[in-house]
């Protein structure tokens, strides 16, 4: 299974600012995913990030608000732009398992509080 780390693990930010979250994987993966988990809620997929192409965003999420980079096969960033208190959530990245398997492996998450 892949080992995924995220930075920062948590942060408290002021409204109107931006935060970039990093996701590092210990092996090369094609697809990486970014999720949001609002307080007390389930996970919602924000976007899928493939190396070498633009991220594909789900309905309700736009690139201007959540720009994503995927510079190589082991790393991705998600930026939460112009933050408001409604952006307070846990943000998680995940990766696909080995080819031929269908599971995803998740990072520990980044807990963001916007004041």
Partner 1 sequence: DAKTTQPTSMDCAEGRAANLPCNHSTISGNEYVYWYRQIHSQGPQYIIHGLKNNETNEMASLIITEDRKSSTLILPHATLRDTAVYYCIVSGAGNKLTFGGGTRVLVKP
Residues in contact with partner 1 by CB under 8 A are: 1, 4, 31, 33, 35, 42-45, 48, 58, 92, 94, 96-97, 102-109
Name which of 54 and 103 has its Cβ closer to partner 1: 103
Q: How far is it, in rounded angstroms, from Cα 102 to Cα 82? A: 35
Name which of 19 and 92 has its Cβ closer to partner 1: 92
Beta bridge partners of 68: 78
Name which of 18 and 27 has its Cβ closer to partner 1: 27
Q: Considering the complex, what minimum distance in angstroms separates the CB of residue 97 from partner 1? A: 7
Q: How far is it, in rounded angstroms, from Cα 30 to Cα 115? A: 35
Could you give phi then psi for residue 11, rounded to 5 degrees?
-160, 150
* 8 Å CB contact between 20 and 6: no
Q: Considering the complex, what minimum distance in angstroms separates the CB of residue 69 from partner 1? A: 19
């Amino acid at each position: 299974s892949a080992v995924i780390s995220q930075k920062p693990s948590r942060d408290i930010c002021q409204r109107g600012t931006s935060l970039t979250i990093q996701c590092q994987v210990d092996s090369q993966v094609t697809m990486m995913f970014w999720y949001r988990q609002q307080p007390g809620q389930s996970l919602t997929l924000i976007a899928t990030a493939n190396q070498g192409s633009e991220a594909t965003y789900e309905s309700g999420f736009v690139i201007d608000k959540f720009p994503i980079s995927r510079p190589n096969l082991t790393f991705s960033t998600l930026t939460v732009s112009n933050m408001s208190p409604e952006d307070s959530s846990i943000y998680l990245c995940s990766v696909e398992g080995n080819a031929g398997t269908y599971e995803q492996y998740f990072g520990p998450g980044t807990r963001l509080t916007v004041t």
